[in-house]
Amino acid sequence: MSDARRDVGLFRYSLIREPADRSLSKAERGVLVRSLAARDHVGPDGTRVRVSRTTLDRWIRLWRTGGFDALVPSGRQVAARTPVGMLDLAVKLKAEQPKRTAAQVVAIMGASQTGDVPSRRTVQRHFARLGLHTRPDGTPPEAFGRFEAAARNDRWTGDALHGPKIAGAKSYLFAFIDDHSRLLVGYRWGRAEDTVRLEAAFRHGLSSRGVPRSVYVDNGAAYVASPLLRTCAVLGVQLVHSRPGRPEGRGKIERFFRTVRDQFLVEIELHPPADLAGMNRLFTGWVETVYNQRAHTETGESPLARFTNNSRPPQIPSAATMSEAFLWSEKRRVTKTATVSLHRNIYEVDATLVGHTIECVFDPFDLTTIEVRYQNRPMGHGIPQQIGRHTHPMAKPEPPAETPATGIDYLALLAEDHEADLNRLAPPTRFAGLIETSDPDQMPGQLQLPTTGSGTDSPDSPDTDESDRP
């Protein structure tokens, strides 16, 4: 290990040693990271630098998994330095004419210099560190940058798309895209933009593509609801919400939605499916045979190829973990009669809990039984005394649909090709457990990635859910 590389590793460790303390809460760690990101630091080469929150969080993850060695960059990373003289010239050109963009500065340097001219991105980052970014009117721009996750399942971005009317009713697409590979990992068309449909799409991705480190979503009602927060907490997924009105980091999912409009919905206008089941079937065929298989313009690889280019298998959660993750919970205070009320239902609980606030954990599609927890300890089950509602008010299943008739059109052909691939790949090839496969209104599953190791249930065994669950 060279001294330069060791110095870089020591610099990184000096910044993250306090927020990396495992005894800190997420809120306490966030305060420290934000404070560090807002200050200038003296880098290993003596220059003053700033380090973003994203980079600090990545260093913390590296240190926790690989120790100090993981913080030491490769020799190539250390050696690749832009000459200081070139950066100084870039600053002078910017000062000479503040309206010059980084691209214009690089063009001028390329025409006038014989040395190694830095890239546009290098000049942009340098200007940003010095506070030299300005609009033509002299005001600082709102530059969001081009973030890309370092590896698959580091970050999923989720969002919803308003779709066309199907069988006379509005449709919505919930989708999650892997930031590194651009693979569409989880998706589902539904009748409502709500938590139930969101969880169906999220569960779809988890069961077939593994557990992500973080999920980036907006502040829509479905994304801030407590069920999603609980799911992420159980699975160890960091849930990140974008600031209202701020599009940072959402470019990839928005670009994907544009592709959906241009390549999928334009065909739906010509050959609309008979129902929502047909919509999900056609969409799955298009995603798995076209979008995930076609080379991406930015990466030069297909999303599926880039996602699978990893020696380590994705972390597929076990059936027990999935079941626990997608339970819902609500807090209730136990009455003097040792009962709690939950959505028009009355349950008798342990008499020792009278006067205490307990957590009621339940399947939103089956309120006939609930699990009682107090201070994160199981306290048995609530005994139903009065059942006025069998399902949670938000757990409304999609209307049942008949098997759609197949038309001779582009999307139908894609769907048929996808289904033929599934039928051709016989065991031992494994497939992801399908979400609610007994319900004809549920969408088909994805091809399961090969997995090894222990501790996870076979994805060949689908979860057993209520027949009316969407």
Whether 21 and 168 share a structural domain: no
| pLDDT at residue number 66 | 82
- CATH code of the domain covering residue 308: 3.30.420.10
Q: Look up residue 99 and give its two tokens.
A: 């309206």
Residues 117 and 121: their CA atoms lie apart, in Å, by 12
| pLDDT at residue number 341 | 95
Domain span holding position 300? 155-317+405-424
Residues 206 and 235: their CA atoms lie apart, in Å, by 10
Whether 220 and 352 share a structural domain: no
Whether 163 and 277 share a structural domain: yes
Whether 170 and 236 share a structural domain: yes
**117 occurs within a structural domain:** yes
Whether 221 and 305 share a structural domain: yes
**192 occurs within a structural domain:** yes
Half-sphere exposure of 344 (CA within 13 A, CB side): 7
Going from the C-alpha of 76 to that of each of 79, 84, 151, the distances in angstroms are 5, 18, 19
- CATH code of the domain covering residue 108: 1.10.10
Of 38, 63, 79, which residue is a domain's last?
A: 79
**398 occurs within a structural domain:** no
In order, the DSSP letters of 185-197 are: EEEEEESSSSHHH
**433 occurs within a structural domain:** no
**140 occurs within a structural domain:** no
The answer to whether the beta carbons of residues 365 and 323 sit under 8 Å apart is no
Q: What digits encode the pLDDT tens for the residues 81-120?
A: 566 677 788 888 888 877 777 877 777 777 776 566 778 7
**88 occurs within a structural domain:** yes
pTM over 0.95, yes/no:
no
Whether 335 and 300 share a structural domain: no
Whether 217 and 299 share a structural domain: yes
**456 occurs within a structural domain:** no
Whether 306 and 165 share a structural domain: yes
Instruction: Count how many domains the chain has.
Output: 4
| pLDDT at residue number 29 | 87
- The residue written with tokens 């969101």 in the block is 198
Whether 107 and 253 share a structural domain: no
Whether 121 and 226 share a structural domain: no
Q: Look up residue 43 and give its two tokens.
A: 């880098």
The parts of the chain modelled with pLDDT lower than 70 are 1-3, 74-84, 113-116, 133-146, 244-249, 397-411, 413-414, 425-470
Tell me which DSSP letter residue 393 carries.
Answer: T
Whether 162 and 27 share a structural domain: no
Going from the C-alpha of 411 to that of each of 186, 276, 290, the distances in angstroms are 19, 14, 10
**441 occurs within a structural domain:** no
Whether 409 and 326 share a structural domain: no
